[in-house]
Amino acid sequence: MVFFVTMLLQAVTALIQATSVSWVMFCVLNCARGLSQISNYISSIVLGSEMLSSSARVSYTLLGHSLGFGLGYALLPLVAYFIRGWRLLLVASAIPSLLFLPSWWLIPESPRWLLQKGRVEEAERVIRNAARQNRVPAPEIIFRAGECLELIQNKDEEGQTYTYLDLIRTPNMRNITILGIFMWLSVAMVYYGLSLNTSNLYGDVYLNCFFSALIDIGACFVTWLLVNRVSRPTLLSCALMFCGLLLLIIQLVPEDMPVMFQVLALVGKMGVSGAYSFIYAFFTELIPTVVRNMGFGISSTAARLGTIISPFVIYIGVYSKILPYIIFGTISIIAAAVGMLLPDTRDCKLPDLISQAKPIRKFSCQRKWASLQSEGRKVKSNSTLC
| Alpha-helix runs per DSSP H in the chain | 2-17, 23-51, 54-59, 67-82, 86-100, 111-116, 120-133, 145-158, 171-196, 205-226, 232-249, 258-286, 292-315, 323-339, 364-385
In Å, how far from its chain's centre is CA 268? 19
Give CA–CA dist 131/139, Å, rounded. Answer: 10
- With pLDDT > 90 as the criterion, what percentage of the chain qualifies? 28
pLDDT digits (tens, 9 = 90+) for 86-110: 999 999 988 888 888 887 777 777 7
* pLDDT computed for residue 334 by the predictor: 96
Q: Examine the pLDDT at 119 and tell me if it is beyond 60.
A: yes
Pick the CATH number of 53-84+166-356 from 3.40.50.2300, 3.30.300.30, 3.40.50.970, 1.20.1250.20: 1.20.1250.20
Give CA–CA dist 3/214, Å, rounded. Answer: 27
- With pLDDT > 70 as the criterion, what percentage of the chain qualifies? 87
pLDDT, mean of residues 215-233: 89
pLDDT, mean of residues 342-354: 83
DSSP state of 165: G
Average pLDDT over all residues of the chain: 82
Q: Examine the pLDDT at 46 and tell me if it is beyond 80.
A: no
Give CA–CA dist 361/363, Å, rounded. Answer: 6
pLDDT, mean of residues 257-265: 86
DSSP state of 318: G
* pLDDT computed for residue 347 by the predictor: 76
* pLDDT computed for residue 139 by the predictor: 72
* pLDDT computed for residue 378 by the predictor: 52
Contact residues for 99 (Cβ-Cβ < 8 A; gap 6+)? none
Give CA–CA dist 236/295, Å, rounded. Answer: 19
* pLDDT computed for residue 143 by the predictor: 66
Burial of 219 (0-12, 13-18, 19+ CB in 10 A): buried
Give CA–CA dist 96/327, Å, rounded. Answer: 36
Give CA–CA dist 329/3, Å, rounded. Answer: 35
Task: Decide: 6 and 43 in contact? Cβ < 8 Å.
Answer: yes
* pLDDT computed for residue 151 by the predictor: 57
CA proximity to 66, closest of 178, 215, 288, 233: 215
- The ranges assigned to domains in the chain are 53-84+166-356, 112-159
Task: Decide: 77 and 212 in contact? Cβ < 8 Å.
Answer: no
Q: Examine the pLDDT at 82 and tell me if it is beyond 50.
A: yes
pLDDT, mean of residues 57-74: 82
By mean pLDDT, which of 30-34, 158-162, 179-183, 367-371 is the weakest?
367-371
pLDDT digits (tens, 9 = 90+) for 146-187: 555 555 555 554 455 778 888 888 888 899 999 999 999 999
CA proximity to 161, closest of 300, 297, 291, 350: 291
Q: Examine the pLDDT at 241 and tell me if it is beyond 90.
A: yes
Q: Examine the pLDDT at 299 and tell me if it is beyond 50.
A: yes
Contact residues for 126 (Cβ-Cβ < 8 A; gap 6+)? 108, 109, 111, 114
pLDDT, mean of residues 245-270: 88
In Å, how far from its chain's centre is CA 292? 12
Q: In which band, very low, low, confident or very high, does the pLDDT at 368 lie, cut at 50, 70 and 90?
A: very low
Give CA–CA dist 15/88, Å, rounded. Answer: 9
